[in-house]
Amino acid sequence: MAEITITETDQRRSTARILDVREDFEVAEGMIPGALHIPMGQLQARLGELDPAVPVIAVCRSGNRSAAVADALNGVGYKADTMAGGMPGPAQDFPPPKPRPALWRQQQTQGNHPTSPERTRQTMATADITQQSFAQTLEDNDIVFVDFWAAWCGPCRMFAPTYGAAAERHPDITFAKVDTEAEQALAAAANITSIPTLMAFKDKTLVFSQPGALNTTGLEEVIQAVKNLDMDKLRAEAAQQHA
């Protein structure tokens, strides 16, 4: 995956598909003419809208989401790059495709600054955990989702944008990731036999475990179910079964 400039993006518009992965409310203010809009969390379900024979240039507001999407697409056989630095939102910042050289005027906005809160929030949406930090992560957080993955796993890479988008929608939940190649002992202790595998813990108790890449709707259903789970009732039922 390469990070390309706004000018390079403009020059490649006739040979590449521009993929805007921002949310609906963001693109409502303006989008590159001719771009395909697929919000990051919907990528897995709508992958068929992309032609594997056509290179992709992913764009978002700050460059973080588009980089994750480009990485995921490259992992399943597409040729994808990301536009560095992101793009401004207002429609008036987007001149017509011609005349060149620029798609739009590059804005010095807070959202595009590499150390802005928006960029930091997206980068920190998910957290990598290890065997050493696993137990403490469960101890410190009420609800923890854990994605067991590997870099060579195509379905894992496709699930990553969906998982990252869910983390942004639910800042009250900890979304963790375990690299099964780097953390083989932890993966073995968790009985991971297929990846990706998603686990959910509430009050330090495992309440969900399932292999396979969920789509946005499926993941959201699991999240809501875990949030609504009555742990006191669950523990009481477990105690009765073992009585």
Domain boundaries, the chain: 3-91, 127-242
**pLDDT at site 132:** 95
Q: Is 156 a catalytic residue?
A: yes
Of 1, 56, 83, 156, catalytic: 156
pTM score above 0.75: no
pLDDT at 223: 96
What pLDDT does residue 160 have? Answer: 87
Cα–Cα distance measured from residue 99 to residue 187, given in angstroms and rounded to the nearest whole number: 54
Catalytic residue selected from 58, 153, 192, 222: 153
pLDDT at site 88: 57
Over the chain (243 residues), the average pLDDT of each successive run of 10 is: 85 89 84 87 82 90 86 86 75 42 34 33 69 95 95 85 89 95 94 93 94 90 94 82 72
Q: Smallest Cα–Cα separation from 220: which of 121, 228, 25, 178?
A: 228
Residue 234, both tokens: 């669950």
Same fold, 3-91 and 127-242: no
pLDDT in the model for residue 86: 82
pLDDT (0 to 100) of residue 94: 42
Task: Look up the CATH number of domain 127-242.
Answer: 3.40.30.10
Are 19 and 56 contacting, i.e. CB atoms less than 8 angstroms apart? Answer: yes
Question: Which CATH number is associated with domain 3-91?
Answer: 3.40.250.10
Q: Of 107, 113, 121, 126, whose CA–CA distance to 166 is shortest? A: 126
Those residues with Cβ within 8 angstroms of residue 204's Cβ, 6 or more apart along the chain or in another chain = 138, 139
Q: Which residues 6+ apart lie within 8 Å of 125 measured at CB?
A: 164, 167, 168, 175
pLDDT reported for residue 50: 87
